[in-house]
């Protein structure tokens, strides 16, 4: 940063800039992203990743990746790998600074011994329930444990015996000795260590005692000399305890700053609840395109740029709030409009015959791939006597302002000719089965000399060239904007039964047979799509990312 001009755009940046001014160039912005490897990352984590790495980028600092792996029962290397993949995909790099809280187990154990030595920790033989029962309430002081007065020698011996495996699981804990009547419940002799025989994904069976999150997280920050330890608001009232540990242990004073969690309407951001959706089979996996996980959003067709721009725009707040999905959709549309190739796909095909076009003749028409980006080039589209158009683009008795096709109406076929409809056939139910038209040979796109006006432009696909494939369209996964906030109801009750719709009868332009996974398209007039990894040779599968226009306002009105 040069000079004293502030570039801060939020309260955390203000703190950093004032520190940089006071402490000089020696002061380093050193942040960390500290996921617990017990699930896949979700959109809330994306926000935290962008914040931590983004601050380091802005202020010439560094960011560590630290796995907070102190709970062997729920953690797994599968999650470690997925987390790394997701952060890289978002475009951030922790270089060689990949750390694990479990790397510090030895050091944390010695921190605990040090507290015992200072008379600030003791071994308690009470059960979990007894400890909870004696905790008191915010307005009523707790009771001191009968084991609180143990001597330093006895505590030291018992704690090392706990480590050596002399005692069964749950029979003893190590607690800090602070203040059982403190108004801050976290000061009422919090548990620091428990006995738990569980195989850890990194340390195996080396340990049978594990530190509690509160005794591991802050100390890990200090060990790594993190200057700004950013976390969500629920840790605000843990901060005095972390500061107490720093003071007692005389370790590096990392500064914790809290910010509001990102909550997006109709999405849930709790790994535990997302795990339930996966385990109980409500979705196809962590990367189901309906999931608010980074892996799910990626498969759905979201781009790193869209998520980063979204995170920036949401900014950071000190109070919880709820962000609309439409904001997220705005950023993906904005990005895909620049990069997606335009193609023609007819969702619900109905056959249209151009009677004055020679039978058996075909021509290749040039079609640009992206009008927003001339460097995207063009492709050739086969055109002939029989084409498909979308059933939605036909109406037998249309209203006045209808610019699509109907009896005695004129439209342009995208990249092709103007046609005029003069006949059609219907089935017994009144559905149109075939539309008959004539075309104007001198109205070809790019060299139109017909002088004929057509208000509407339709997309189409040549019948003999049409490729088969699948379209997967998604709706919100939950019908309630905050499905996890209803105390007496399980969030599963709010699952949207029609969140996935599979369309197997669409007609695709033939260029789509050669798809590569993860490529983005704009299906002309319909929306943005991405190829799904389930695609097979000769059978492309597309996920709908988002429609072309914001349909939320309308959708919500209709629901009321
Ligand atoms: P979950 O409830 O999904 O398990 P968590 O906070 O327990 O979330 P962690 O793996 O501990 O998950 O989170 C890693 C980091 O991401 C933490 O610093 C946490 O504060 C941050 N984080 C988690 N959820 C959100 C969110 N919704 N918005 C912003 N940051 C978040
Ligand atoms: Mg957590």
Concatenating the DSSP letter of every residue in 377-398 gives -EEEEEEESEEEEEGGGB-SS-
Give yes or no: residues 455 and 494 share one domain.
no
More confident residue, 557 or 328: 328
Q: Quick check: is 272 catalytic?
A: no
Q: What pLDDT, in 10s, does the model give residues 271-305?
A: 999 999 999 999 999 999 999 999 999 999 999 99
Give yes or no: residues 320 and 420 share one domain.
no
Catalytic pick among 28, 84, 255, 261: 261
How far apart, in whole angstroms, are the C-alpha atoms of residue 398 and residue 306?
39
Count of domains for the chain: 3
Residue 551 pLDDT > 80, yes or no?
A: no
How far apart, in whole angstroms, are the C-alpha atoms of residue 489 and residue 483?
9
Give yes or no: residues 135 and 217 share one domain.
yes
| Token representation of residue 323 | 């962000």
Domain-located, residue 266: no
Domain-located, residue 201: yes
Tokens 């926000």, located at residue:
47
Q: CA 358: distance to chain centroid? A: 52
Final residue of a structural domain among 239, 259, 279: 259
Q: What pLDDT, in 10s, does the model give residues 445-497?
A: 999 999 999 999 999 999 999 999 999 999 999 999 999 999 999 999 999 99
Tokens 């003893």, located at residue:
172
Tell me the CATH number at 535.
1.10.1160.10
Domain-located, residue 515: yes
Q: Which domain holds residue 374?
A: 345-459
Distance 235 CA to ligand 2 centre (A): 10
- Mean pLDDT within 346-361: 97
Give yes or no: residues 302 and 377 share one domain.
no
Supply the pLDDT for residue 25.
82
Supply the pLDDT for residue 560.
41
Q: What pLDDT, in 10s, does the model give residues 403-459?
A: 999 999 999 999 999 999 999 999 999 999 999 999 999 999 999 999 999 999 999
The C-alpha torsion from 120 through 123 and 127 to 133, rounded to 10°, is -20
Supply the pLDDT for residue 73.
87
Q: Is the CB of 249 under 6 A from ligand 1?
A: no
Final residue of a structural domain among 234, 259, 284: 259
- Given ligand 1 and candidates 40, 41, 45, which is best to mutate, with the most ligand atoms within 8 Å of its CB? 45
Q: Quick check: is 557 catalytic?
A: no
Considering only the C-alpha atoms of the chain, give the largest distance between any 2 of them, rounded to a whole number of Å: 102
How far apart, in whole angstroms, are the C-alpha atoms of residue 458 and residue 347?
13
- Mean pLDDT within 202-207: 96
Supply the pLDDT for residue 81.
97
Distance 107 CA to ligand 1 centre (A): 25
Give yes or no: residues 287 and 158 share one domain.
no
* Helices and strands, counts by H and E, the chain: 13, 28
Mean pLDDT of the chain: 95
- Mean pLDDT within 520-536: 96
Q: Which ligand is nearest to the CA of 34?
A: 1
Give yes or no: residues 71 and 161 share one domain.
yes
Q: Is the CB of 32 under 6 A from ligand 1?
A: no
Supply the pLDDT for residue 4.
59
Residue 234: DSSP 8-state: G
3-state DSSP assignment of residue 214: helix
Give yes or no: residues 454 and 480 share one domain.
no
Residue 93 pLDDT > 70, yes or no?
A: yes
| Alpha helix stretches (DSSP H) within 91-238 | 105-117, 128-133, 152-164, 213-223
Residue 2 pLDDT > 50, yes or no?
A: no
Supply the pLDDT for residue 1.
46
Tell me the CATH number at 240.
3.40.50.620
Cβ-Cβ contacts under 8 Å for 8 (sequence gap 6 or more): 14, 16, 17
Q: What pLDDT, in 10s, does the model give residues 14-54?
A: 999 999 999 988 899 999 999 999 999 999 999 999 999 99
Give yes or no: residues 544 and 406 share one domain.
no
Distance 247 CA to ligand 1 centre (A): 26
Q: What pLDDT, in 10s, does the model give residues 7-22?
A: 999 999 999 999 999 9
Query: Buried b / exposed e across 458-474, counting CB within 10 Å, b at 16+?
Result: bbbbbbebbbebbbbbb
Final residue of a structural domain among 433, 459, 485: 459
Cβ-Cβ contacts under 8 Å for 330 (sequence gap 6 or more): 550
**Phi and psi for 191 in degrees, rounded to 5?**
-70, 135
Give yes or no: residues 395 and 541 share one domain.
no
Supply the pLDDT for residue 552.
64
Catalytic pick among 175, 194, 271, 544: 271
Q: Quick check: is 386 catalytic?
A: no
Supply the pLDDT for residue 555.
55
518 — pLDDT class (breaks 50, 70, 90): confident
Domain-located, residue 4: no
Give yes or no: residues 251 and 295 share one domain.
no
Tokens 């990392």, located at residue:
254
């Amino acid at each position: 940063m040069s000079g004293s001009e502030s570039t801060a755009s939020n309260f955390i940046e203000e703190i950093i800039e004032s520190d940089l001014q006071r402490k000089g160039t020696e002061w380093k912005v050193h942040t960390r992203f500290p996921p617990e490897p017990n699930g896949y990352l979700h959109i809330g984590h994306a926000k935290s990743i962008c914040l931590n790495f983004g601050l380091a980028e802005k202020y010439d600092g560094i960011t560590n990746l630290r796995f907070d792996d102190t709970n062997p029962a729920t953690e797994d290397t599968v999650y470690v790998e997925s987390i790394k993949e997701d952060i890289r995909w978002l475009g951030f790099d922790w270089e060689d600074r990949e750390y694990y809280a479990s790397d510090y187990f030895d050091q944390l154990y010695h921190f605990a011994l040090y507290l015992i030595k200072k008379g600030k920790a003791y071994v308690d033989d009470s059960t979990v329930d007894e400890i909870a029962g004696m905790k008191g309430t915010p307005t009523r002081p707790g009771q001191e444990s009968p084991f609180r007065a143990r001597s330093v020698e006895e505590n030291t011996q018992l704690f090392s015996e706990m480590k050596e495996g002399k005692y069964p699981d749950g029979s003893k804990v190590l607690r800090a000795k602070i203040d059982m009547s403190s108004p801050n419940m976290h000061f009422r002799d919090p548990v620091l260590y428990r006995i738990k025989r569980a195989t850890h994904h990194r340390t195996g069976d080396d340990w049978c005692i594990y530190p509690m999150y509160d005794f591991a997280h802050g100390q890990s920050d200090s060990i790594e000399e993190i200057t700004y330890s950013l976390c969500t608001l629920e840790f605000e009232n843990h901060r005095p305890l972390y500061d107490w540990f720093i003071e007692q242990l005389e370790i590096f004073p990392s500064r914790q700053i809290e910010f509001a969690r990102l909550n997006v309407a109709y999405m849930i951001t709790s790994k535990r609840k997302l795990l339930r959706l996966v385990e109980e089979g409500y979705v196809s996996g962590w990367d189901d395109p309906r999931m608010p996980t980074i892996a799910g959003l990626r498969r759905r067709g979201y781009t790193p740029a869209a998520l980063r721009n979204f995170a920036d725009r949401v900014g950071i707040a000190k109070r919880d709030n709820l962000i609309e999905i439409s904001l997220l959709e705005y950023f993906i549309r904005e990005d895909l409009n620049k990069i997606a190739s335009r193609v023609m796909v007819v969702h619900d095909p109905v056959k249209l015959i151009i009677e004055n076009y020679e039978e058996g003749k075909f021509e290749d028409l040039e079609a640009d791939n992206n009008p927003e980006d001339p460097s995207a080039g063009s492709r050739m589209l086969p055109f002939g006597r029989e084409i498909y158009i979308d059933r939605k683009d036909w109406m037998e008795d249309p209203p006045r302002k209808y610019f699509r096709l109907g009896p005695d109406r004129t439209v342009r076929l995208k990249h092709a000719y103007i046609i005029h409809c003069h006949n059609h056939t219907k089935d017994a139910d009144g559905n149109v089965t075939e539309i008959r038209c004539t075309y104007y040979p001198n109205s070809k796109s790019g060299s139109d000399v017909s002088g004929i006006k057509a208000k509407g432009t339709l997309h189409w696909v040549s019948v003999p060239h049409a490729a088969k494939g699948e379209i997967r369209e998604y709706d919100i996964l939950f019908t309630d904007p905050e499905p996890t906030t209803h105390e007496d109801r399980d969030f599963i009750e709010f699952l949207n039964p029609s969140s996935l719709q599979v369309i197997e009868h669409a007609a695709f332009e033939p260029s789509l047979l050669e798809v590569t996974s993860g490529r983005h398209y704009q299906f002309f007039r319909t929306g943005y799509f991405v190829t799904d990894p389930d695609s097979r040779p000769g059978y492309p599968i597309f996920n709908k990312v988002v429609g072309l226009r914001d349909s939320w306002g309308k959708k919500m009105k209709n629901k009321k």
